[in-house]
Each structure stands twice: as C-alpha cells, then as structure tokens.
A and B are shown apart, each in its own frame.
Chain A
Amino acid sequence: MPSLSHYLLLAAVLFGIGVYGVLSRRNVIAVLMSVELMLNAVNINFIAVMKFVPSDRHVGQVFALFVIVVAAAEVAVGLALIIAMYRHKKSVNLNDFNLLKW
C-alpha cells in the first residue's frame, strides 16, 4: 500500500520531468506541455494529500479542479500568442524569441 510519501515522491519526480522539459525543449509548445506536467504533479499532490491527511476532505479535489481549469485557460491564451508569434517569426522555437534582451 503506497503511503503519502510515495505519492509525494511521484509528484516530485513528475514535477522534475516537467522542469527538465521546460528547460531543455526548444519548441514552445513542448515547453507549455512540460508546464502541464508540472501542474499535474501539483494535482497529484492535492489528491493524494486529501486522501491521507485527515482534514478538509474536499479541498484538495477542489484545488485540483481549479488548477485544471486555469491551466486550460492559460494554454488557450498561450496557443493564441504562439500563433501570433509564429506570424512574425515563422518559428515556434523559443531561441528565436529574443528581440528583448539586455
């Protein structure tokens, strides 16, 4: 029977994978997907904690739901911006978006 710490560890690993993706992928869509991984790690945490920690039974679930909704909104805006950017640069490579610097 997995305990809370197993879940937390899983979430941490998932979060780590997300972080890795964010840092290493050059395609901006892939980066956004990696962010989703990080958010999912958060969701795992919330759900698992709700199961193991004896209080406020529904809060974790509610929080996870909110996260999912907000993430969807974020991605929607994100994709719109990517398209706009693609019109300028003909590229979705993050490395190309460096007009603003220094």
Chain B
Amino acid sequence: MSFNWLSTEIIVALIGILLLVLSSGLNVRGKEILTKAAVASMFLVLLNAIVLFSREQSLFNGVYVVDSFGNFFKILFLLAVILVLLSSLQYIKRFKEKICEFVSLMIFAAMGMIIMVSAGDLITLYVGMELMTISFYILSAFLLQNQFSAEAGLKYLVLGAISSAVLLFGMSLIYAVTGTTVISEIAVRLRTEPALIAGVVMMLAGFGFKIAAVPFHMWVPDIYEGSPIPVTTFLAVGSKAAGFAAFLRVFVLALPLAQFNWSIYMAVIAALTMVAGNLIAIVQTDVKRLLAYSSIAQAGYILAGLAAANTYGLKGMLFYAMLYVFSTTGAFAVTTAVEVDTGSTGMEAFAGLSRRSPMLAAIMTICMLSLAGIPPLAGFVGKFYLFSGAVQSGYLWLALIGLIMSMVSVYYYLSLTRIMYIGESASDAPINPGLETRLALWICLLATVFIGIYPAPLSGLAQAAIKIFI
C-alpha cells in the first residue's frame, strides 16, 4: 500500500490539521501548550524521517517519488520548522489566540515544501509549491495590524502570483515540446527548439524567484523585513531550500545540458546574485534586511553549484542548504531574542550585546561568519564543495567572484559584530531568550561548528541524496 511510504507527509498534515481543530475552544495558555506539543510531535516526525532516510519508491505512476534526495530535504524542512518554531515561541506569544493558526500554517508551509521536493511530476511540484507559497502569503501578513507586515504579505502575493504564472507558462511550454509532465520522462522526449528554450528560461525565472536569484530577488528584502521574524527565517531557510530542491530535480533530471546549455546562464545569474546581494547588504542598517540581502548572496553561492551541475556542485548545494538552515536560523533566532527584548531589529538594538548576553553575541557572530564562509565553520566547507564544483565545470571566474564576495560579506557581518562587541548599550540587563530558544540556539551553534570541523557525516548524507542525478 502506497500510504505506508507517505508516513511523513501524512503525519505532518495531520499535525497541522489537528492543531487547528484542537485549538478551537482552548484559552491562550492551552494553545501555547498545544503548540509546544505540536513542535514536539514534529520532532518525532523528524526522527522518523531520519530513520527512513534510505527508502526509495516511486508512487502513483511516478507522480510522487520517495527517494533519498527528497528524504534529505524532508529532514531539512522538518529541522528548519522545528528550529524556527523553537526559537520563536517567545515571539509568537504576541499572536495570542491566533498562535495555533500561525504554527499550523508554518507546518502547512513545511508540508508544501515536502511535497515540492518529492514531486515526480510538474503538477505535483506546482501544487506543493503553491501550498507552501500561499501559506507564506498569510504568514507574512500575520501581524495584520502592522502595516509593514500587511504590506509584505500583499507584495509577496502579487509578485508570487506573477512568478507562478511565469513558471507555469514555462512548464506549459515544456509540456508542449515533450508532451509529458513527468520529470523523468521529459528528458527522453526533449527536442531543441525555441519553445524549449523559452520554457526553460521561464522556469528558470520561476524557480529563480523562489530562491531569490538576481534579477528575481527584488521581493526578498521587503518581504523579509516586513514579515514576522519566524516567517522570515522560514522563508529564508525553508522556501529557499525547497526552491533549490525543485530547481535541481527539474533541471538536472529533466533538462540535460546537451539539449540546452542552461548552465552558463545559471553561472552568470549566480555571479550577479552574489555581487548584488553582498553589495547592497553593505549599506543596510536593519538586521533583518541585512540578513535578507545576505540570503540573496547565499542563493548566489548555492546557484553556483547548480551551474556546475556535477557531483561536487550538487553535493555542495545539499550540504550548503543544510548548514544554511543552522546558520541562518541561529542568526535569526538571536535577532528574534533581541527583538523580543528591545522591540527593534535595527543595528543599534544589538549594541553592547556581548556585554548583555555574551552567548547571544557569540552565536550571532559565529553563525554570520559561517554564512561568510570562514573556517572552521560549516559555511566554509559548503563553499568549498560548491566552488570546487564550479571550478571543475570550468567556472573558475565564478569561484573567484564568489570567494571575493564572501570576503566582502565579512565586512557587513563584522560591522554588526563590532556593534555587538564595542557598541554601548542603553541597558546592561541580560537578555533571557527562554529555554526553547536557548535550545534552538545551541543546536544551531553546535551544528554549525560541528559540521565545519567534521563535515564527513553530512557530506556522506548529501552524497547519498544526489545519487539519483549521477
């Protein structure tokens, strides 16, 4: 029976729905406990997903596939949602009685991502993507009273809809050329013709929107800045990873380079993304917006792996996506804690953080440096994989630009570090982020350091996950 293979998906959906159902009639306190229970059960799902990592099966005539690639990302999304929720339990108290809706939407978004990466067919992919995206529209605007949040939701919706339309148009053109939407069959029936190229380019744009590649990145800073921080975090780590996973599966499996060499466009886009993201980040003064631009730059690095489209590159993408979860969540979790304490995410809110809470400052610094690719943190190994892949495919220039831009990025990360370490804070009271956030922070910190120092396990996992492409 096929449903046995879908245990993760089913349980996640059930948790999301149950959360909604059970919450009705509970008071705020009860809802808070319920959300914690939901997070705990998500953790069990995560364990389950880890155990079932190596399962492989194609379901429903190939419309839905269970493979190690999908399983890798399932683990990633579950980790991400758990970490994000853990780190935001303090933050989301402000939603009061809507807290369960919020959490359940987060879980649905994760569900959408899971479907997206397991799709064996463009239709499934689209549906999963929309589940995720529509959840995010709502989540972005979850602070409805807040103009920024509402505006972010609306902007995301308009732009997201446009990008969906573009993506769909691309898919329809591919369908026109091949007559199929099953990903594994497209490759077989591919013919080089203008419609194919148009289709590929439009799909590239559609996925590019999700992963925030230049010039499809414009929504990112606004939406990241306006949304509630947990949503921003999940957008950054989850939505982006899902975008990459789908991107990867479709482009590498369905669109062989021999038919149409999309690799070079990827490379150029990757380079532009790194440059633009990092350069604009330099002048930012709001930490959320800064991290938004930084996440654009990160997308550029990961895209370099896709442009390479070889073992190192793909492995690097998976590797990087995973470590990106820890590093970014860690950075955002600190931001959340600071926001909860000071009510602001401006850089000045971080002043003197190292005196108030040395651990928070240290974690923020370490996570950011991991994003910048400073060893011995995880980001360095990830970049090493990605750029090794790029060099192997002949994109030495891309590697050079990427590495130089990484170093440029250190500038703004260190600017924030400087504020944290030598800035003068108004109050000297320590920030208490709460037990769950602490847990999330320590997980992020330890994972970032551990992966950086001993990357072999994660790299082995990534290796296993990409075997469908080789």
Look across to chain B and name the residue whose beta carbon is closest to the beta carbon of A48: B176
Q: How far is the CA of A8 from the CA of B172 in the complex (A)?
A: 10
Pair B122/A38 contact, Cβ less than 8 Å: no
Pick the interface stretch among B72-80, B155-163, B337-345. Answer: B155-163
- Also in contact, A39 and B151, with CB within 8 A (given A54-B179, A63-B175, A70-B130): no
Pick the interface stretch among B17-25, B133-141, B398-406, B411-419. Answer: B133-141
Determine if A13 is an interface residue (Cβ-Cβ < 8 Å): no
Determine if B421 is an interface residue (Cβ-Cβ < 8 Å): no
Counting contact residues on chain B (CB < 8 A from A), the size range is: 35 or more
Mask, A10-37, CB within 8 Å of B = 1, is: 0100010010001000001001100100
Residue of B150, B164, B172 contacting most chain A CB atoms (<10 Å):
B172
Look across to chain A and name the residue whose beta carbon is closest to the beta carbon of B172: A45
Contacts of B221 in A (CB 8 A): 100
CB proximity to B under 8 Å, residues A75-100? 77-78, 81-82, 84-85, 88-89, 94, 97, 99-100
Interface of B is mostly: helix
Determine if B232 is an interface residue (Cβ-Cβ < 8 Å): no
Q: How far is the CA of A78 from the CA of B435 in the complex (A)?
A: 37
Q: How far is the CA of A84 from the CA of B141 in the complex (A)?
A: 9
Across the interface, B172 reaches (CB within 8 A) one of A28, A49, A85, namely A49
Q: How far is the CA of A22 from the CA of B182 in the complex (A)?
A: 31
Interface residues contributed by chain A, number (CB under 8 Å) = 44
Determine if B165 is an interface residue (Cβ-Cβ < 8 Å): yes
Contacts of B277 in A (CB 8 A): none
A102 CB to closest chain B CB, in angstroms? 8
Contacts of A74 in B (CB 8 A): 130, 134, 137, 157, 160-161, 164
Q: List 7 A-B contacts (CB under 8 A).
A: A28-B154, A38-B169, A46-B175, A81-B153, A84-B150, A85-B150, A99-B148
